[in-house]
Amino acid sequence: MPTLDIDGRGKTVQDAVKDLWSRIEPLQERGYHPVTSVEVVDTKTKKVVENYQLTDSEFIAHVESEGTKRTRRKTEEHKPPRPHESRYVARLRLES
């Protein structure tokens, strides 16, 4: 079965989780489902600082909290972020 490793990035844990969630939703609609928990990694220390299941109330609180919604224009070119641009990375593995 094909697997995808996806991540969300942000200057805060909450931003990283929101970014990850915005990437998960379209993939779930295409039939992918999570096979690991969400790990939030501090990019400076390279250590896992948080670990969530998608059903955890803390994870849901991060996703549903008020804030700016990040949208990407279709014409915007994807550029991998530089290390100093995001302090946290939220990562997850999906399987079809």
Residue 84, in any domain of the structure: no
Mean pLDDT of the chain: 81
- Structural domain contains residue 40: yes
With 0.75 as the threshold, say if the pTM is over it: no
Please write the tens of the pLDDT for every residue from 50-94. Answer: 998 877 777 777 777 655 454 444 445 556 556 567 899 999 999
Residue 15 pLDDT greater than 80, yes or no = yes
> Is position 79 within any domain?
no
In a domain, 88, yes or no: no
Residues sharing a CB contact under 8 Å with residue 42, sequence separation 6 or more, in sequence order: 49, 87, 88
Dist CA 46 CA 50 (whole Å): 12
* Number of compact structural domains in the chain: 1
- Decide if pLDDT at 49 tops 90: yes
Residue 92 covered by a domain: no
Instruction: Identify whether 20 is part of a domain.
Output: yes
Instruction: Give strand pairing partners of 94.
Output: 4, 34
Q: Show the domain range for 47.
A: 1-68
Specify if 76 maps to a domain.
no
